[in-house]
Amino acid sequence: MNLTDAAVTAVVITALKKPAGEFLTKVFGPAADELGLMVRDRVAAHRHANLIKIVGKAKRHLDKAGVSPKVLPLSIIHPMLHAASLEDNEELQDRWAALLANAADPRQLVQVLPSFSSILQQLTPADAKLFSTIHDFAEQLYRHRYPKTEVATYRIQEISFGDLAYIPGLASPREGRSDPMLDWSKIAVPLDNIRRLGLLDARPVANLVKIAAFHGGPSFVDHLEYKTEYRVTALGSEFMAACRKPNR
């Protein structure tokens, strides 16, 4: 634990207004008093405000679910609060609040790994929006293919869903063509970052197709067509679930 982490923790415990302060006291458990005495450093005003918003939302999530937060290991709560305090984007703050709420949910409906804080910290708003879109499409496709699958089973599967161009909102139709066109200038970098973090995977797939050949008369020849098949990893599915508010 570094000085910055300790400073954030101490100020959060001692300075956050109720009810956020009470929530964190429960989450830290016996360590709360000790950590509150370790340092009296100041957290910048915007980080303080960020934490109040995020922790307040997390508390409301669990209040609506009708449960009280459990004590979290320091390996989870320290990096989570430190990283969350740096986030100014409201949409990502909502994801941090959901991550905190799921981590503190005593029902443990979702597995929250220590690495999730690091992953979320490395996502831009564009990255998060793209992955959410891809994930939801993959989930809908999976549920359509396997309608009798038990709830949440899909989260432990590797969900293959084919071409990104067929995901609504990611591509535009092309005149005279049946296949849509992706705007790679908008999604290439976010897509690479999502894959780098292990949330999404891709592999080339070769399909044997017939194409017309006009040499002395119409005929067809075999042709190998290469495409990329994408899949949401098991890690990606669980991460997305952890970044969405808990179910009641």
Give residue-wise pLDDT tens across range 85-115.
999 999 999 999 999 999 999 999 999 999 9
User: How many other C-beta atoms are found inside a 10 Å radius of the C-beta of residue 227?
Assistant: 12
The pTM (predicted TM-score) of the whole model is 0.74
CA-based end-to-end distance of the chain: 34
Q: What H or E segment, with its residue span, contains residue 231? A: strand 218-232
In a domain, 169, yes or no: yes
User: How large is the angle between the packed helices 3-15 and 45-65, nearest 10 degrees?
Assistant: 60
Question: How far apart (Å, rounded) are the C-alpha atoms in residues 72 and 85?
Answer: 18
Report which of residues 190 and 24 the model is more confident about: 190
Q: Are residues 111 and 132 in the same domain?
A: no
Q: Are residues 112 and 139 in the same domain?
A: no
Domain that holds residue 22: 3-116
Question: How far apart (Å, rounded) are the C-alpha atoms in residues 150 and 156?
Answer: 11
**Confidence at 215, pLDDT banded by 50, 70, 90:** low
In a domain, 44, yes or no: yes
161 has pLDDT over 60: no
Q: Are residues 138 and 77 in the same domain?
A: no
**Confidence at 42, pLDDT banded by 50, 70, 90:** very low
Report which of residues 233 and 148 the model is more confident about: 233
Q: Are residues 13 and 95 in the same domain?
A: yes
| Tally of domains in the chain | 2
